[in-house]
Amino acid sequence: MPKIKTKSSAKKRFKVSGNGKFIRNKAYRRHILTKKNAKKKRRLRQHPVVDETNVKALKRLLPYL
């Protein structure tokens, strides 16, 4: 069997955590941070886990992670 290519776009956007879950980036944290209050900025620091409904598709896109 030939090797499966990893999707470059997915490789740049997702990482696998230590316990095997996919980590994604959050929206609304790139710029204009002065208008956001401290509570919102604090919540934006955390990296959310990808929803279970998308994990199967991600495993197909990232076969070797």
Please write the tens of the pLDDT for every residue from 12-53.
999 999 999 999 999 999 999 999 999 999 999 999 999 999
- Three-state SS string over 1-65 comes to CCCCCCCHHHHHHCEECCCCCEECCCCCCCCCCCCCCHHHHHHHCCCCECCHHHHHHHHHHCCCC
Residue recorded with tokens 């279970």: 52
Cβ burial, residue 22 (10 Å; 0-12/13-18/19+): buried
pLDDT of residue 49: 95
Q: What does CATH list as the number for 8-61?
A: 4.10.410.60
Tell me the pTM. 0.78
